[in-house]
Amino acid sequence: MNPSEGALPGHFYLVGVGPGSPDLLTLRAVAVIRSCAVLVAPRSESSSESLALQVAAAYIDKQEVIERIYPMARNQQQTESCWAAVADVIAARCQDGRSVAHLTIGDPLLYSTAGYLMEQIAARMPRERWHVVPGISAFQTAAAIARQRLTLQNDRLMVMPATCIPDVEAALTSCETLALYKVGPRLKQLAAMLKRHNLAAQAYLVARACQPGKELVLQGLDSITSEEIGYMSTVIVPVGHRPWTRTGEGG
Amino acid sequence: MNPSEGALPGHFYLVGVGPGSPDLLTLRAVAVIRSCAVLVAPRSESSSESLALQVAAAYIDKQEVIERIYPMARNQQQTESCWAAVADVIAARCQDGRSVAHLTIGDPLLYSTAGYLMEQIAARMPRERWHVVPGISAFQTAAAIARQRLTLQNDRLMVMPATCIPDVEAALTSCETLALYKVGPRLKQLAAMLKRHNLAAQAYLVARACQPGKELVLQGLDSITSEEIGYMSTVIVPVGHRPWTRTGEGG
């Protein structure tokens, strides 16, 4: 593929549109979106519009746009049949010689609905006809907004959802930087646990990143009073630093 | 800042240029590079040219370009005085009302020389005058090239250097996906360790990503014979998958 020149007929692209700012897409993502015949985007049941389509709006003109509601229920079978149906539509359009791009927020390979779709596409299309265009992920954006280094030298970075606080607590011992997604309703619980480990003051939260006027950066989680942190929030916990220890280690 | 309109006079930008392909920079990175008065880039002692400058070459025209050799030695004091000197130059240019961008491969906050520079800049310039522009990191590129999902649902991603194989072995028990940087000279050792854990076949290596004609993708590390894998290589180990387990977990 030569994606800088745009999408090829009959090819499919899983495109990450980044964290939400129209200028944080890669040039490749923009080239693929602009030149595609068909754009597919997921939309949650609770939203009136696909967030990914909103982010890419400036690059959408005459493309056919297909929005699909994806199931939020944790029902494996329901999820699979939903994505199978979307994959059928995509494979049919490609079979007709059209180029198709599926847009998701962030990076398609990191906690993205694109991960479900990919399995279905791999079962329907030859490997050389579908591609992944990476995108800036939320943890990178959060650290960039807070201007904080994530890793250096021997540091280990752990990225995980904050869905289970004991799991998060366990992770503190195996990394130097911890990036937490899906914090939303567990923020108070998380802050209390971090306090017990003396890590609350150095932890920071970024919510609604790239939404002008709504972006929230909270340096220090030691005085959390609100529970009103939305779904699109990231907490980063700088746990420690592992310097180079031995000579001869790769630089 | 309004970075889509380019760099502001007197401001400094730590810009990630991504994994090496000129179309994998973000629009923001390109806008900042194009509009900057001064570009600073690190170069290793063993290279004749800065890799970051090569990647951004298409966007460089009349900017002043300053290349700095950065020390590869693990000498904390040498490293600090080197970056202090670079930060002095940058702060002076900004003081004169010029805009300056420092370019590094990948993301400036992930295992980047920008991490050293940032500390020095923070000590010299007010916080509102310097910014971080994130970039696509090597692990995202490796997975995109291999078309493999990194994480879904409750999965944990660990990113770390492969500088110490026992550390890598320990990490296998605390994540579902392991992304390893700086594999180079330890590839055989790594492959042997992964074999003992029955993970070598599913692991994959991507070397010289985004270098046309030189890119190498190795699916499965169970028959490693060569030691000739360069520094710019990433190994990803899919260790397992953690599905959603409880209802009520954030979607």
Nearest CB neighbour to A182, from listed B136, B156, B250: B250
| pLDDT computed for residue B4 by the predictor | 60
The alpha carbon of residue B61 is apart from the nearest alpha carbon of chain A, in Å, by 19
Model pTM? Answer: 0.95
The neighbouring-strand residues paired with B65 are B39
Q: CB of B103 within 8 A of CB of B15?
A: yes
Q: A150 vs B175: CB contact, 8 Å cut-off?
A: no
For the stretch A127-155, pLDDT in tens is 999 999 999 999 999 999 999 999 999 99
Q: CA A80, CA A85: separation in Å to the nearest integer?
A: 9
ipTM confidence: 0.94
Identify which has the larger pLDDT, B121 or A47. B121
Identify which has the larger pLDDT, B199 or B113. B199
The alpha carbon of residue A2 is apart from the nearest alpha carbon of chain B, in Å, by 10
Once rounded to an integer, what is the mean pLDDT over residues B67-94? 86
Residue A87 pLDDT greater than 50, yes or no: yes
Nearest to B200 by CA among B221, B223, B186: B221
Residue A249 pLDDT greater than 70, yes or no: no
A149 neighbourhood in chain B, CB within 8 Å: 109, 115, 118-119
| pLDDT computed for residue B250 by the predictor | 41
| pLDDT computed for residue A250 by the predictor | 41
Once rounded to an integer, what is the mean pLDDT over residues A89-112? 97
The alpha carbon of residue B65 is apart from the nearest alpha carbon of chain A, in Å, by 23
For the stretch B143-196, pLDDT in tens is 999 999 999 999 999 999 999 999 999 999 999 999 999 998 889 999 999 999
The alpha carbon of residue B144 is apart from the nearest alpha carbon of chain A, in Å, by 5
Once rounded to an integer, what is the mean pLDDT over residues B85-92? 96
Q: CB of B205 within 8 A of CB of B183?
A: yes
| pLDDT computed for residue B35 by the predictor | 98
| pLDDT computed for residue B227 by the predictor | 64
The neighbouring-strand residues paired with A109 are none
Dump the DSSP string for A106-130.
B-TTBS-THHHHHHHHHTTS-GGGE
| pLDDT computed for residue B211 by the predictor | 84
| pLDDT computed for residue B72 by the predictor | 65
In Å, how far from its chain's centre is CA B247? 37
Residue B248: pLDDT band (50, 70, 90) is: very low
Which residues of B, range 159-188, sit inside 8 Å of A by Cβ? Answer: 159-164, 167, 170-171, 174-175, 182, 184-186
Helix axis angle for B114-122 and B76-95, nearest 10°, is 60
Which residues of B, range 32-61, sit inside 8 Å of A by Cβ? Answer: none
For the stretch B20-40, pLDDT in tens is 999 999 999 999 999 999 999
Q: A140 vs B143: CB contact, 8 Å cut-off?
A: no
Q: What is the mean pLDDT of chain B?
A: 91
Q: B158 vs A157: CB contact, 8 Å cut-off?
A: yes
Q: B24 vs A28: CB contact, 8 Å cut-off?
A: yes
